[in-house]
Structure 1
Amino acid sequence: MAGKILGEVVKSGQTSTILQRTYEYLNSVSKCSAEDASKIVEELDGLLSKEETKVMIASICPKTHEELRTLLTLEGKTYTTEELDRVLEIVRKYVKS
């Protein structure tokens, strides 16, 4: 999402070398677009309760149960393998190849 905001600044012409490089870096490391990250958050609404957790998952795009479990500690509950698979399935739908 930061990439989207910086992209708008860069396109407006009000930029510096640092902003340009930051924008390029964000584009090179991002795993999905800002729109796709928003879709991930929306789809996680029924599965997770905390907005912070949903946003972190959409930003980091975990690939394994272990990575996901680390992010889910904020939720304060234990998830089944099936629930973890469902979250990872949602993330995989939107991650860049």
Structure 2
Amino acid sequence: MEAAASAAPPEACALCARALGARIEWHHVVPKSEGGRDTVPLHPICHRTIHASASNAELARLYPTLEALLAREDIRRFVAWIADKPPDFHAPTRKRI
């Protein structure tokens, strides 16, 4: 009996598409508190940006897919800004007002 092959680690962030670094966080596209089950790999800064931009209820209702989230102007600006940063780049995340 052959041992099952382990799944390869994810290579790219689901939000910004940059290579992942040493830390990977798993984001529920539809928040777990709103019934979501599917997760995607993200950089910590990308994960914090998502949650600083929208509440769990808004993520579930208005942005239930990454495509919908990427349609937001603030998220598009963030992705453009982070595009040339190294995988383990970190900066303070601004909370939404």
TM bracket, shorter-chain basis: 0.3 to 0.5
Larger-gyration structure (1/2): 1
TM-score when scaled to structure 1? 0.34
Q: Answer 1 or 2: which has greater strand percent.
A: 2
TM-score when scaled to structure 2? 0.34
